[in-house]
Structure 1
């Protein structure tokens, strides 16, 4: 049975679980607090979101019904892990690309290769394009295409790709550059910021575990 279109919130929650499973495995599966923090990051996210605990919990519950997320019990807090690759029946490399597209929005093959460094190292842009082509040509028996190649925007050298997990996309809207789009940070700076965010996430998870062991409320709660 084809997967129903995900809501933007569900896609953000699912993408966050997929990211943290690879970038901060020591703190994975994630608590609800860690899921919310990951969804609301100010970097590596497009668009930016400000989800509440209730919104993230609702998305997790819906994803559980689709078998895309499992809930595990440990200590005082429930933890969540994704089941994306098994449900969608895609290889690791394709799952990485879809996760990045869910978190960062449309990207070129070159951008996907750079942004995937902490998830999976692709040999070259051609290998990225090969997996994207497979996802675009996915048969109807398997649920149909999962990505689409957007028309190249005026002045752009490369076309961008978008995921279809939330349903059809407005190609004309996504192929046009956004007004006032900020200049992206250099890959080195962005990698440094992401490394710091990963370190903070690990420290947060350690603190939550200590609070659970001591019977204390998690940080930010009365």
Structure 2
């Protein structure tokens, strides 16, 4: 069963509005949504599978070294918030599934974008589209922008740099302290070189049809490698559980 099969599993009256959560909790939630979409046969996830997903080297920024205690605390935080549910898996192994559709009040395209922002942090529109395509196909940047605008309207995403090429977007689940650090980082970058933020991002944001095609080919190869890594990680998680 995939995450797409039960977008309204809970009573709408019990839905809890999304709120800021800690960095490890965001990583755990991102992993649960990602694995539901990319490796549905291995979903829901065991604790071992969640830890493996949090610490994997691909599609993650920053890299983390989450241990069992970190993961359990994050899961407790997410359960209390209403973003994750605990279920009994086969062989009496406790497993976990996300409730992101209800918690965020979004659909599959929105969840793909939120997942990438949770797993990789702030990104440009081009980066979001290229990376989120592995979970939901976005036909072009216009479609991606429309979905990002929808998430902004819901208070889930915000632009952290000025409009224009290389504009960067972030989710709104950072804690207050993290938001201050993020704002200071962006301000420092802009002060040191007003063009640096855009220049650094333009290398991945498609500026033409030719560039977009080249990026898509590169992403396709990366997706193949990622799929192989995720398959190996799933086998490891199954073995550990």
Task: Structure 2 unaligned segments of length 5 or more: list them.
Answer: 1-15, 190-195, 205-214
The alpha carbon displacement at 1:116 in A equals 1.4
| Inter-partner Cα distance in structure 1 for 2:56 and 2:44 | 18
1:165 aligned residue (173, 176, 180): 173
**TM-score, normalized by length of structure 2?**
0.74
The alpha carbon displacement at 1:172 in A equals 4.6
The alpha carbon displacement at 1:171 in A equals 3.2
- What is the aligned length? 198
2:231 aligned residue (199, 204, 217): 199
Contact (CA 8 Å) 1:12, 1:102: kept in 2 or not?
yes
Query: Per-residue displacement from partner, 1:39-95 (whole Å, max 9, x unpaired)?
Result: 001111011100001100110111111121111112132100000111221122111
Contact (CA 8 Å) 1:45, 1:103: kept in 2 or not?
yes
Q: CA RMSD in A?
A: 2.5
Alignment of 1:1-222 (within 5 A): 2-74=17-89, 75-138=91-154, 145-152=155-162, 157-167=165-175, 169=179, 170-174=182-186, 176=189, 186-207=218-239, 218=241
| Inter-partner Cα distance in structure 2 for 1:160 and 1:196 | 30
**TM-score, normalized by length of structure 1?**
0.80
> Which structure features the higher share of helix residues?
2
- Residue 9 of structure 2 is matched in structure 1 by none
How has the CA–CA distance of structure 1 residues 58 and 12 changed in structure 2, closer, same or farther, with 3 Å as cutoff?
same
The alpha carbon displacement at 1:136 in A equals 1.3
Contact (CA 8 Å) 2:52, 2:237: kept in 1 or not?
no
- Residue 211 of structure 1 is matched in structure 2 by none
| Inter-partner Cα distance in structure 2 for 1:107 and 1:126 | 16
Contact (CA 8 Å) 2:49, 2:238: kept in 1 or not?
no
- Secondary structure at 1:120's aligned position in 2? coil
| Inter-partner Cα distance in structure 2 for 1:128 and 1:171 | 24
| Inter-partner Cα distance in structure 1 for 2:165 and 2:133 | 22
Contact (CA 8 Å) 1:21, 1:29: kept in 2 or not?
yes
